[in-house]
């Protein structure tokens, strides 16, 4: 048998490297697919020239009620291109629309669930999260990252609290049990769970975490460093809780007075430097009293 020589040059640096990333993409909700109507609407909103700066865009088809038999996708894309947008594809359309768009070279892109873009009268910049909703980059998980990427919706929420209230970046609601090995991440928002989080499951949110069932797994709130985030559960039996990277494990089970109680976890008001752990703050875990 002849051996084939490995001809790959011995580089110190990999020529191709893979990294996950998130790009800001505009979601453009269309309520008509008639090029004429869209042209006049576009002119009213953006004038005649390139309003946008080559921004990436995805066409949200969820608000369409009627559309022509022959949809002139090329004209629609052309129109948006004149306004300075680069259309990547379509999202949230029904199967007929999606297929028609696909035939015109516009692929269906998954806008992650739980962050529906509210219909707005004017085009609004809204970041589209990566479709891998359940995954979170390892780098974000244990270390709080205060300098979030420009695309991070959490950043906007911090800077303009009123805006965040009006245009919630998306609370993720989960109503099935989370099982050992499963992980859910609410990027840029709160996580509400209406079923048990079992041992070995991990729930993460940039905002608060609410579990209206037994919390037996790991819960990490304020994953991007929001020290105001809280974890609330009706039945506390967690393996680990963390707020903004300050964590606590329960090797011998949770303290008896907290076990299986409704509990609130938050960071202490005054930062305390722990000598043993070097952590600059401390978690407060209290029985949740609802009056």
Q: Is residue 93 within 8 Å of 58, Cβ to Cβ?
A: no
Stretch that binds another protein, among 116-124, 137-145, 197-205, 274-282 (CB under 8 A): 197-205
Is position 180 an interface residue for another protein (rule: CB under 8 A)? yes
* Continuous segment of H or E residues that includes residue 189: none
| Distance (Å, whole) CA 167 – CA 261 | 33
Stretch that binds another protein, among 86-94, 153-161, 192-200, 241-249 (CB under 8 A): 192-200
Site mask for another protein (CB under 8 A), range 157-176, x = bound = -------------------x
Is position 24 an interface residue for another protein (rule: CB under 8 A)? no
Is position 200 an interface residue for another protein (rule: CB under 8 A)? yes
Is position 260 an interface residue for another protein (rule: CB under 8 A)? no
* Backbone angle region of 170, left / alpha / beta, with phi > 0 → left and psi within -120 to 50 → alpha: left
Q: Smallest Cα–Cα separation from 250: which of 215, 203, 210?
A: 215
Q: Is residue 179 within 8 Å of 202, Cβ to Cβ?
A: no
- Of 123 and 196, which has the nearer Cβ to another protein? 196
| Residue 256 Cβ vs another protein, minimum distance, rounded to whole Å | 18
Is position 234 an interface residue for another protein (rule: CB under 8 A)? no
| Residue 133 Cβ vs another protein, minimum distance, rounded to whole Å | 13
Candidates 68, 107, 181, 271; binder of another protein (CB under 8 A) is 181
First and final CA of the chain: distance in angstroms? 80
Burial annotation 127-137 (CB, 10 A radius, 16+ → b, else e)? bbbbeebeebe
- Of 78 and 180, which has the nearer Cβ to another protein? 180
Burial annotation 146-182 (CB, 10 A radius, 16+ → b, else e)? eebeebbbbbbbbeeeeebeebbbbbbebeeebeeeb
| Distance (Å, whole) CA 152 – CA 150 | 6
28 DSSP β-pair partners: 59
| Residue 91 Cβ vs another protein, minimum distance, rounded to whole Å | 16
- Of 82 and 260, which has the nearer Cβ to another protein? 260
| Residue 10 Cβ vs another protein, minimum distance, rounded to whole Å | 30
Site mask for another protein (CB under 8 A), range 117-156, x = bound = ----------------------------------------
Residues in the site for another protein, rule: CB under 8 A?
Answer: 176-182, 195-196, 198-201, 216
């Amino acid at each position: 048998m002849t051996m084939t020589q490995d001809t790959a040059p011995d580089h110190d640096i990999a020529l191709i490297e893979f990294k996950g990333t998130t790009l800001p993409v505009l979601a453009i909700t269309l309520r008509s697919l008639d090029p004429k109507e869209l042209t006049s609407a576009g002119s009213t909103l953006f004038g005649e020239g390139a309003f946008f700066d080559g921004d990436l865009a995805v066409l949200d088809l969820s608000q369409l009620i009627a559309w022509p038999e022959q949809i002139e996708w090329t004209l629609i894309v052309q129109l948006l291109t004149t306004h300075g947008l680069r259309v990547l594809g379509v999202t949230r359309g029904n199967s007929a629309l999606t297929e028609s768009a696909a035939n015109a070279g516009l692929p269906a892109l998954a806008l992650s669930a739980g962050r529906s873009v509210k219909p707005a009268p004017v085009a609004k910049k809204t970041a589209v999260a990566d479709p891998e909703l359940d995954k979170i980059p390892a780098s974000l998980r244990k270390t709080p990252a205060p300098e979030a990427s420009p695309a991070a919706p959490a950043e906007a929420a911090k800077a303009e609290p009123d805006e965040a209230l009006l245009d919630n970046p998306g609370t993720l609601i989960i109503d099935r049990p989370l099982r050992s090995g499963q992980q859910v991440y609410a990027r840029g928002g709160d996580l509400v769970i209406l079923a048990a989080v079992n041992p070995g499951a991990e729930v993460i949110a940039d905002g608060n975490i609410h579990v209206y069932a037994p919390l037996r797994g790991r819960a990490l709130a304020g994953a991007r460093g929001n020290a105001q985030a809280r974890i609330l559960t009706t039945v506390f039996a967690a393996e680990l809780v963390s707020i903004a990277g300050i964590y606590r494990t329960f090797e011998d089970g949770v303290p008896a007075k907290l076990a299986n109680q409704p509990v609130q976890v938050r960071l202490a008001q005054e930062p305390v430097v722990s000598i043993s752990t070097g952590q600059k703050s401390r978690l407060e875990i209290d029985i949740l009293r609802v009056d």
